[in-house]
Structure 1
Amino acid sequence: MDTSSSANGTAAAASSSSSRRSNRWMYEVFLSFRVDDTTFTDRLSIALRNAGINTFIDYQLKRGENIQSELGRKIERSRIAVVVFSKRYPESRWCLRELSKIMRCREDQEGIIVLPIFYDVDPSDVWKQSGGFAGILEA
């Protein structure tokens, strides 16, 4: 067996696979946050962009777009979702729908990486669904 042709075939397949994966991601980071927390997320978005990280933040959507379906597409085309959990995050049905979509994408074979940020909130409230996060699954 010719090992050089086998190695070339493997390299070509890996390159093709890598190319498909890189074409899948339109954004490196999708920011999910409650509108009330815009000061923090604005600074985070600016810092990510200054670091050369292609970031989507929802006020980049154009007026007249179907927001829910467009956000879903942006989530699907993002490699990483940064979810900023804040005290008022669970009050927003939009945030909870977004989080649900993010978690569904995470379960996909080449799923999104989810990085939580706990902004002035106890992480155990989110994990245990207590405090302001009690009952969010019913929302």
Structure 2
Amino acid sequence: MICFRSFRGEDTCNSFTTHLYKELCTKGINTFIDNDKLERGDVIASTLVAAIENSKFSVIVLSENYASSRWCLEELVKILECIRTKGQRVLPIFYNVDPSHIRYHKRKFWRSIG
């Protein structure tokens, strides 16, 4: 089984998502990790697109600054496309964010989107 994790590194990278990655691997779930080898740019890297497309499921860690990252939002769009076209499963995790703030476009989660 292959898993893709979408997360905002500055919010969760050295804490929650690191532990999540270790636990998924412990359970025998092959989890994509970029090891900071991907170049930052304006367009989502083809490596990420392929990782999303080849995954059986994705874990989306929705944190306070998730929506401020263009890459995170592009990953999310691709994941949503894979739900429709490939039946991919998705597990959303709300990390220090109330789900109602996302649903009703409240608070800091949406402030950075112009």
TM class, shorter-chain normalised? 0.7 to 0.9
TM-score (norm 1): 0.69
Distance 2:104 2:33 in 1: 28
Residue 116 of structure 1: which of 81, 84, 92 is its match? Answer: 92
Cα pair 1:31 1:55 within 8 Å, conserved: yes
For residue 3 of structure 2, what is the aligned residue in structure 1?
29
Structure 2 matches for 1:1-139, cutoff 5 A? Answer: 28-36=2-10, 37-38=12-13, 39-59=15-35, 61=37, 68-108=45-85, 110-134=86-110
TM-score (norm 2): 0.83
What is the count of residue pairs matched by the alignment?
A: 110
RMSD: 2.4
Residues 51-70 of structure 1 deviation map (CA, whole Å, 9 limit, x = unaligned):
1111112327566xx96211
Q: Which runs of 5+ in 2 are unaligned?
A: none
Q: Which amino acid aligns with 2:7?
A: F
Change (3 A) 1:95 1:42: same
Distance 1:35 1:129 in 2: 22
- Sequence identity, in percent? 43
